[in-house]
Amino acid sequence: METIPKFLKFVNQLNAEDMHLTSQEWLSELKFMKDEHLFFEDLVTEFTPQLIAFNHFSNNKEIMNAIYKSQKRNDELIEEVKEHENGLQIMVDGIDQPQEEKAYRTEHKRLILTIKEVLKEYKTLKKQLFDIINSIKKENKTRHLLNKK
């Protein structure tokens, strides 16, 4: 038996406006993530020599692959949320369509879980990337100080 997290039980009570606002918030977050991905690409490009020379190249390669996968998933999610937003018409058209409305709410629940998970994974990815860059910068600073002596 599948249990539904407590925060999902309220979705059946949401009105169309609440779901619209939630979808708009998701799009905003996902578009911000898209901009951050561009920043990550620039960051990786800037630190490529150090990333290659850094002791844990295989881990760094995994992080770079994870960034790429995250970008791809983010683009897919943006499209899903846009389609979901366009489907909101079912909820506000004034026509009683219980099956379609139920399917729309089910899709909304699925998106809640998906976006929550993607944001969690993204936060972890960000932390890993910044930890790597921080390590590189510390190592470079230490080398620079040792070379001055």
Per-residue pLDDT of 88-111, as tens digits, reads: 888 777 788 888 888 988 999 999
**What tens digit of pLDDT does each residue of 109-146 get?**
999 999 999 999 999 999 988 888 888 888 877 776 67
Residue with tokens 């881990």: 59
pTM equals: 0.80
Write out the DSSP string of 9-61. Answer: HGGGG--HHHHHHHHHHHHHHHHHHHHHHHHHHHHHHHTHHHHHHSTTHHHHH
